[in-house]
Amino acid sequence: MTTTTRTNFFVATLLLTVAILATWVVTDRRSYTSLTTIEIVESIPDADDPLANTGFYDDGPVETAVERPGFHLGLLPAPRGILDLHALSVLTLLGLAWAPHLLLLARRILRKRSAITPLPENTHAFSPKTR
């Protein structure tokens, strides 16, 4: 891999990271990924609601729990199986994006280590044996 390709790949991963974190922020910064949301919604009773003017709602808004579809990218996955959309999360996506870089980095470190293999003990560049 050339240096240019490597740089481009690194920049693309950085952009992807920003996109993933932005999605997490935009979708309410939840702890766990969810595909549906249960929310408490306040609403004014409908005119055809027989309880509307009876004092049942204290003449105020009605609080109801509403289950609606809505994707929230969580920090952590919440899957039930391998092929589950709940497996998408900041952690899993960032893990996938950064995994090749970490592998490349690990390989480079290993190469460098093998290139600077220490000389056997009691030997140095100016020892009589190496001259």
Partner 1 sequence: MNRKQLSIAFALFLILGSFTQIAMADSPDNPCSGKHAENPCGEKAGNPCNVKAAAMGNMPAVNPCFAKMGTVFTIADPMNRNSVTFRSEAPLEDIVGTSNEISGYLVFDPENPKKGGRGEIVVPVSSLRTGIPLRDEHVQGPDWLDAAAHGQISFRIDDVKGVERIKAGDGYMTYVLTVTGPFTLHGVSQQLEAKVTLTYLEASEMTRGKMEGNLLAARTSFTVALADFDIRGFKGVVGSKVGESIDIDVSLMASDAQMSAAQTQNPCGEKAAKMKSGR
CA distance 105 to 92: 20
Which runs of E-coded beta strand occur in 1-131? 30-32, 34-43, 62-72, 74-76
Least spacing, CB of residue 17 vs partner 1, in Å: 23
Q: What contacts 37, CB < 8 A, 6 or more positions away?
A: 67, 68, 69, 70, 72
Nearer to partner 1, 7 or 36 (CB): 36
**Per CB under 8 A, 32 contacts partner 1:** yes
Q: Which positions from 79 to 108 touch partner 1 by CB under 8 A, shown as an x/- string?
A: xx-----x----------------------
Q: Which residues bind partner 1 (CB under 8 A)?
A: 31-34, 36-40, 48, 50-51, 53-56, 58, 63-65, 67, 78-80, 86
